[in-house]
Amino acid sequence: MTLRDEEVTGHVPTEVEYEELQQVNDELAQRIGDMLKVHKEQGAAIDLALVLRDYLASHPRTHHFDLARMVVDQAVRLGYSESDYRAIQPDWTAINDFGAKVQANVIDRY
Protein backbone atom coordinates (compact mmCIF):
# COMPACT_ATOMS: atom_id res chain seq x y z
CA MET A 1 0.00 0.00 0.00
CA THR A 2 1.30 3.47 -0.82
CA LEU A 3 0.14 6.84 0.36
CA ARG A 4 -1.38 8.91 -2.41
CA ASP A 5 -0.54 12.57 -2.84
CA GLU A 6 -2.01 14.18 -5.94
CA GLU A 7 -0.39 17.52 -5.06
CA VAL A 8 3.15 16.23 -5.62
CA THR A 9 4.60 15.30 -8.99
CA GLY A 10 7.68 13.28 -9.79
CA HIS A 11 9.00 9.89 -8.78
CA VAL A 12 9.65 8.90 -5.18
CA PRO A 13 12.27 6.16 -4.80
CA THR A 14 10.71 2.95 -3.48
CA GLU A 15 12.97 2.84 -0.41
CA VAL A 16 11.96 6.39 0.59
CA GLU A 17 8.28 5.63 -0.01
CA TYR A 18 8.58 2.52 2.20
CA GLU A 19 10.36 4.49 4.95
CA GLU A 20 7.57 7.10 4.98
CA LEU A 21 4.91 4.40 5.06
CA GLN A 22 6.74 2.56 7.84
CA GLN A 23 7.07 5.78 9.84
CA VAL A 24 3.31 6.42 9.60
CA ASN A 25 2.60 2.79 10.49
CA ASP A 26 4.94 2.95 13.51
CA GLU A 27 3.37 6.22 14.68
CA LEU A 28 -0.12 4.76 14.42
CA ALA A 29 0.90 1.57 16.21
CA GLN A 30 2.40 3.63 19.05
CA ARG A 31 -0.63 5.94 19.31
CA ILE A 32 -3.16 3.10 19.36
CA GLY A 33 -0.92 1.01 21.62
CA ASP A 34 -0.85 3.88 24.14
CA MET A 35 -4.64 4.10 24.05
CA LEU A 36 -4.96 0.36 24.54
CA LYS A 37 -2.60 0.55 27.51
CA VAL A 38 -4.90 3.14 29.11
CA HIS A 39 -7.82 0.85 28.28
CA LYS A 40 -6.11 -2.08 29.96
CA GLU A 41 -5.22 -0.07 33.08
CA GLN A 42 -8.39 2.03 33.44
CA GLY A 43 -11.00 0.27 31.33
CA ALA A 44 -11.43 3.30 29.05
CA ALA A 45 -12.95 2.34 25.70
CA ILE A 46 -11.41 3.62 22.45
CA ASP A 47 -13.71 5.32 19.97
CA LEU A 48 -11.95 4.61 16.69
CA ALA A 49 -13.97 7.28 14.86
CA LEU A 50 -12.56 9.94 17.21
CA VAL A 51 -9.06 8.52 16.83
CA LEU A 52 -9.42 8.74 13.05
CA ARG A 53 -10.86 12.26 13.12
CA ASP A 54 -8.04 13.56 15.34
CA TYR A 55 -5.32 11.82 13.34
CA LEU A 56 -6.62 12.82 9.91
CA ALA A 57 -6.99 16.47 10.92
CA SER A 58 -3.19 16.79 10.85
CA HIS A 59 -2.75 15.27 7.36
CA PRO A 60 -3.62 16.38 3.82
CA ARG A 61 -7.03 15.29 2.57
CA THR A 62 -5.40 13.32 -0.26
CA HIS A 63 -3.94 10.94 2.34
CA HIS A 64 -7.11 10.37 4.37
CA PHE A 65 -8.30 7.16 2.71
CA ASP A 66 -4.95 5.39 3.01
CA LEU A 67 -4.34 6.64 6.54
CA ALA A 68 -7.82 5.61 7.67
CA ARG A 69 -7.18 2.09 6.38
CA MET A 70 -3.89 2.00 8.30
CA VAL A 71 -5.52 3.21 11.53
CA VAL A 72 -8.21 0.54 11.30
CA ASP A 73 -5.61 -2.11 10.48
CA GLN A 74 -3.53 -1.21 13.54
CA ALA A 75 -6.56 -1.04 15.80
CA VAL A 76 -7.91 -4.47 14.90
CA ARG A 77 -4.49 -6.00 15.51
CA LEU A 78 -4.28 -4.59 19.01
CA GLY A 79 -7.84 -4.67 20.33
CA TYR A 80 -11.43 -5.50 19.49
CA SER A 81 -14.99 -4.62 20.32
CA GLU A 82 -17.35 -6.86 22.25
CA SER A 83 -20.08 -5.46 19.99
CA ASP A 84 -18.42 -7.11 16.98
CA TYR A 85 -19.01 -10.52 18.53
CA ARG A 86 -22.63 -9.66 19.24
CA ALA A 87 -23.13 -8.52 15.63
CA ILE A 88 -24.05 -4.99 16.67
CA GLN A 89 -23.67 -2.67 13.70
CA PRO A 90 -22.30 0.75 14.68
CA ASP A 91 -23.63 4.07 13.41
CA TRP A 92 -21.79 5.96 10.69
CA THR A 93 -19.55 8.66 12.19
CA ALA A 94 -17.86 11.53 10.32
CA ILE A 95 -14.06 11.34 10.39
CA ASN A 96 -13.19 14.51 8.46
CA ASP A 97 -14.77 17.73 7.23
CA PHE A 98 -15.08 16.43 3.67
CA GLY A 99 -17.87 13.89 4.15
CA ALA A 100 -15.87 10.75 4.92
CA LYS A 101 -17.55 8.47 7.45
CA VAL A 102 -16.68 5.22 9.18
CA GLN A 103 -18.59 2.47 10.92
CA ALA A 104 -16.52 1.34 13.87
CA ASN A 105 -17.56 -0.14 17.17
CA VAL A 106 -15.79 1.24 20.23
CA ILE A 107 -12.76 -0.91 21.10
CA ASP A 108 -13.40 -2.23 24.58
CA ARG A 109 -11.33 -5.44 24.75
CA TYR A 110 -7.55 -5.72 24.86
Tens-digit pLDDT profile for residues 58-100? 888 888 888 888 877 777 776 677 887 888 888 898 888 888 8
How many residues are recorded in the chain?
Answer: 110
pTM score of the predicted model: 0.59
What pLDDT digit, counting tens, does each position of 16-68 carry? Answer: 455 677 887 788 778 877 887 888 888 888 887 888 888 888 888 888 888 88
Residue 3 lies in a domain: no
Residue 70 lies in a domain: yes
Residue 18 lies in a domain: yes
CA 75 to chain centre: 7
Q: Report yes or no: 110 and 36 within 8 Å, Cβ to Cβ.
A: yes
Question: What is the DSSP track for 5-68?
Answer: -TT--S---HHHHHHHHHHHHHHHHHHHHHHHHHHHHH---B-HHHHHHHHHTTS-GGGHHHHH
Q: For the packed helices 48-56 and 64-78, what is the interaxial angle rounded to 10 degrees?
A: 140
Q: Which domain holds residue 91?
A: 14-103
Residues 6 or more apart in contact with residue 81 via CB below 8 angstroms? 104, 105, 106, 107, 108, 109
Percent of the chain at pLDDT exceeding 90? 0
Query: What CATH number has the domain bearing residue 63?
Result: 1.10.225.40
